[in-house]
Structure formats: structure tokens, C-alpha cells
């Protein structure tokens, strides 16, 4: 059976007029590395769950994207990261919200799935699971990037002046991956720093199963990116799963409807990557672009931004 993987580096892309050839090359190379990390797992017979974990770790390590190293700042100048992983075989899931410490928050989400009876954890209790699992921590400086810090200052200044616009590159970003392995199993993982200048304690859609992350072998695996509040209010991932199960939509029909019809009704900008039970990829977005890439043994490799 065919395997495939799709990844995203967020819908908060640099507007095309600010993208230089050098920056575009750097984004493409980073996507390519993460795609290869996941694809290598699948090509050697590994599981979809291991593939999405490997791909998301690579994206978290990459300072260009808003997750792990390079995460955006809260309005207090801190990092609060959210992550989730879901296994389509049995719908087991692990999620973590508002953490600062683990170098790869997706690993902590996975440890919560594998080492506890819980789905979503926060705070010291979540961090303890990571320490017990031997997950590496990183100091606050590791997550710092000057660009994200400048973006926070700019956002706060624009807010004070009343000139804040909704430039997606300044506001948000996220990383995620979905995969189907050669055994026919699906998995999804998502990781994010959230929205620039968010209030401390704000949690987005990424760590919420059925909103920003979802996987079930019967239908699809989904990892979303965009205005988290709208994605939560619409239960984006669950809505796509439900349209497939109950209305007989294909993945492409369901994902397109939710992203291009339902989300705009809530002013929700963003997109998602998704894979169905046969390994077909959908990656709709309703904004200027979404860092994205996919590959598989029966589909053509693609890396795209706009």
C-alpha cells in the first residue's frame, strides 16, 4: 500500500512583496528537510505516528517557523507553546498547552499520550511527564529569535497607536504534519507558539483534538493553522471528519468547504494539511499562502508557499 506525508509551516506567510529570493530559498529548504525527515520514516516501513513526530520535531527545530525554536512571544515577552499528536489507529491522543521548557513540545504531547490516561495536560504536571520520559528541556534563550521579538514590539506599538492590521506574518504561524503509512494507518501532529502578543494563558486550536488536530483511520488526518479562535469555534477538524462520515464528502470536498466557505463566515483565515485513508493529500488555505509540502511513493513531491 502507498504511503504519503504532508506538512505545513503555518499560514502566517510573509506577504509575497516582502519575500526575497534568499528567504524563499531558506523556507523551501527548511520544508524540504522536515518533509524528508518524515518521509524517511515511512519509506523504511515506519509508522505514520513516528513520521509526523519526526517531521514536526524538524519544523520545531527550525527558527523560521512559529513552534519550538522561533516561537512567537506572548504580550509579556514569554513563550507559551501548544502541541498535539493523534494516532488514527485507535484515536489515542496527547496534547499539551501553554508550556515552556521542552525543546520539542510535540515529544511532550506524545509522552502524555503514551505514558498517561489523559489527553490534554498543562503546567507543572505536564512538564513532569516530560522529565520522567527523559525529554530534553531547553533554556528560554534557546527559543528566542530577534525577529519574533521585534515583531512583538511592533505589534504592541501598533496596538497602542491603533494601527494594528491583520498581517498574518506578524500575527501567527504553526507547524504540523499528517501521514498515512504503508500499513494504512493515519496520524497527525501540530505544534505552535500561538499568536504574537497573545495573553498569557491563551490556548489556540492546535492542541485541541477536533479543532486543529485530528486523526482517525476511517476518514482522515488533519493539522490546521490560522486564527485559532475561529478554528475552535468551528471545530474545524471534526467538521471535516463529520462531513466525510455523514455527508459522504471526499476529503477534498469537505476540507475545501470548511476552509473556503465555513471559516470565512467566522472571519477565520488560515488553512490545513490533510490526508485521507487512501493517502490522498488536501491542503486548502483561504489566505495569501501557507508554507506546505508533501511527498509519497505514489504522489509527486511538492514544496510550495503561495
Residues that bind ligand ASP (CB under 6 A): 10-12, 172-174, 192, 194-195, 204-206, 212, 225-226, 228
Query: Could you tell me the smallest distance in angstroms from the CB atom of residue 224 to ligand ASP?
Result: 6
* Closest approach of ligand ASP to the CB of residue 112, in Å: 18
Would you say 41 or 259 has its CB closer to ligand ASP?
A: 259
Minimum gap (Å) between residue 197 Cβ and ligand ASP:
12
Query: Residue 268 and residue 287: Cα distance in Å, rounded?
Result: 10
Cα–Cα distance measured from residue 280 to residue 294, given in angstroms and rounded to the nearest whole number: 10
Catalytic residue among 155, 174, 190, 196: 174
In whole angstroms, the minimum distance from the beta carbon of 146 to ligand ASP comes to: 20
CB-wise, 70 or 204, nearer to ligand ASP? 204
- At 105, list the grid cell: 513540545
Antiparallel, parallel or unpaired: β 213-215 and 186-192: unpaired
Query: Is 174 one of the annotated active-site residues of the chain?
Result: yes
Q: Are 10 and 291 in contact (CB under 8 A)?
A: yes
Name which of 189 and 195 has its Cβ closer to ligand ASP.
195
Q: Which is nearer to ligand ASP, 61 or 80 (CB)?
A: 80
In whole angstroms, how close is the CB of 218 to ligand ASP at the nearest point? 25
3 versus 231: smaller Cβ distance to ligand ASP: 231
Q: Which is nearer to ligand ASP, 66 or 104 (CB)?
A: 66
CB of 229 to ligand ASP, least distance (A): 7
Which residue lies nearest ligand ASP, judged by its C-beta? 228
Q: Quick one: which of 60, 159, 165 has its CA closest to 104?
A: 60
Give the residue numbers marked as catalytic.
Answer: 174
Amino acid at each position: 500500500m502507498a504511503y504519503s506525508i504532508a506538512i505545513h509551516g503555518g499560514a502566517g506567510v510573509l506577504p509575497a512583496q516582502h519575500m526575497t529570493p534568499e528567504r524563499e530559498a531558506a523556507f523551501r529548504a527548511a520544508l524540504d528537510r522536515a518533509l524528508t525527515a518524515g518521509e524517511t520514516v515511512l519509506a523504511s516501513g515506519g509508522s505514520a505516528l513516528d513520521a509526523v513526530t519526526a517531521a514536526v520535531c524538524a519544523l520545531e527545530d527550525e527558527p523560521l517557523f512559529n513552534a519550538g525554536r522561533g516561537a512567537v512571544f506572548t504580550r509579556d515577552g514569554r513563550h507559551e507553546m501548544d502541541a498535539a499528536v493523534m494516532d488514527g489507529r485507535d484515536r489515542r491522543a496527547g496534547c499539551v498547552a501553554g508550556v515552556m521548557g521542552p525543546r520539542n513540545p510535540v515529544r511532550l504531547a506524545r509522552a502524555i499520550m503514551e505514558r498517561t490516561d489523559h489527553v490534554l495536560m498543562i503546567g507543572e504536571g505536564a512538564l513532569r511527564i516530560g522529565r520522567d520520559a527523559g525529554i530534553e528541556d531547553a533554556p528560554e534563550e534557546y527559543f528566542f529569535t530577534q525577529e519574533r521579538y521585534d515583531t512583538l514590539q511592533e505589534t504592541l506599538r501598533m496596538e497602542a497607536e491603533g494601527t494594528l492590521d491583520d498581517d498574518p506574518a506578524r500575527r501567527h504561524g504553526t507547524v504540523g504534519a499528517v501521514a498515512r503509512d504503508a500499513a494504512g494507518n493515519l496520524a497527525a501532529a501540530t505544534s505552535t507558539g500561538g499568536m504574537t502578543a497573545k495573553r498569557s494563558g491563551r490556548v489556540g486550536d492546535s492542541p485541541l483534538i477536533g479543532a486543529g488536530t485530528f486523526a482517525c483511520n476511517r476518514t482522515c488526518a488533519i493539522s490546521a493553522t490560522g486564527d485559532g479562535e475561529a478554528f475552535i469555534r468551528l471545530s474545524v477538524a471534526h467538521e471535516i471528519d463529520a462531513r466525510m462520515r455523514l455527508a459522504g464528502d471526499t476529503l477534498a470536498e469537505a476540507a475545501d468547504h470548511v476552509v473556503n466557505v465555513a471559516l470565512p463566515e467566522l472571519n477565520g483565515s488560515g488553512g490545513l494539511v490533510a490526508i485521507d485513508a487512501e493517502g490522498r493529500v488536501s491542503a486548502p488555505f483561504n489566505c495569501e499562502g501557507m508554507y506546505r509540502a508533501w511527498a509519497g511513493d505514489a504522489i509527486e513531491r511538492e514544496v510550495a508557499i503561495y
